[in-house]
Structure 1
Amino acid sequence: MIRRALIPTLIVLLALPAAAEQGLSARAEGGWRLAFEAGQSSLPAATRDAIAGLAPGLAALPQGRITVEAQASSPADDASLARRLSLARAGAVRDVLVAAGLPATRIDIRALGRRDPPADIAEILPPGVKRADAGPAPSSTR
């Protein structure tokens, strides 16, 4: 039983080197981080491919939800615009994961807007992985 649960985790870990070469980097806390151009929500083709490569391993995990969190560095004076941009970024990442086979019902997205320090990033957090600035990410068994 334990061996069966470890196989999907190993698949996700094996995807790390290829993902790093294509715009994703591993987070020390677990999961992956990708950068966006300031003011943009589109993903380069290589980054889309790297995200798509993670989807089968994430889908094979026996339970839990994947969280996609995104931030936007600007504009400093318009919180609403920063929130919409971060929502578009999280949605773009989710769309790639869904197109690659991860059920949409297993993905939560969080639009963080502008945080301190400001960053143009999105993070993909597997079940049980803690966020960098807070407690554990949601890990429902639905």
Structure 2
Amino acid sequence: MTRRLLLLAAAGLLATLPGPAAAQAPRGAPAPPLALPAGMSPLPAGADRVSFRPGDSALPAGAAPVLGEIGRRLAAATPTGGGRITVEAQASGPSNDASAARRIALARAQAVRAALVAGGIEETRVDVRALGRTPQALDAADVLPPGVARAGATR
């Protein structure tokens, strides 16, 4: 058993195993806040924002595992049928081609959804909204948990 734990620790998987502390934590206790990597920021009401480089639809470095953890937490907190998660993405440009901006936003939303699904949330519970170029001209995708209104509506 000790050798197995050493191998898991060396592979970086030990932290993902449930241990005695996890078994003793009260059921339904809030999960500790996530350490968000550069390129991600919290929004009000439990939403999160992923920022992208202009014109790029690849997730920023370190965002995929954090989005996976968000997906895992949403799956645990909202069982099947417990609400829909929305990913709203937008792009700052190109300003003269609405179709291209919408395609970039769609690719961003799909990348975020794939990372959430990798964490355990059912793909059919994640809606994507490609907003294209908005008046805010942001290069971002927002993850909105069930019951959270559109993030862009309050800005």
TM-score with structure 2 setting the length: 0.74
Q: Could you tell me which of 101, 110, 133 is aligned with 2:120?
A: 101
- Secondary structure at the aligned position of 1:101 is classed as coil
Q: TM-score, normalised by structure 1?
A: 0.80
- Equivalent residue for 2:43, pick from 27, 39, 51: 27
**Structure label with greater radius of gyration:** 2
Equivalent in the alignment of 2:66: 50
CA contact (8 A) 1:30 1:130 kept: no
Q: How large is the Cα RMSD of the aligned pairs?
A: 1.9
Q: Residue 102 of structure 2 contacts residue 131 of structure 2 at CA under 8 Å; is this kept in 1?
A: yes
Shift of 1:22: 4.9
Whether 1:67 aligns to 2:81 is no
Aligned amino acid, residue 51 of structure 2: A
% identity of equivalent residues: 49
Q: Distance in 1 between matches of 2:124 and 2:62?
A: 25
Total equivalences in the alignment: 125
Say whether the 8 Å CA contact 1:74–1:82 is kept in structure 2.
yes
**Unmatched runs of 5 consecutive residues or more in structure 1:** 1-5, 136-142
**Higher RCO, 1 vs 2 (CA within 8 Å, ≥6 residues apart):** 1
The equivalent of 1:115 in structure 2 is 134
Structure 2 residues not aligned, in runs of 5+: 1-26
Distance 1:133 1:93 in 2: 17
2:143 alignment partner in structure 1:
124
Q: Aligned partners of 2:96 and 2:67: how far apart in 1?
A: 32
Picking from 77, 90, 93, the partner of 2:96 is 77
Match of 1:3 in 2: none
Segment of structure 1 superposing worse, 39-48 or 84-93: 39-48
- Specify the code of the residue in structure 2 equivalent to 1:95: A
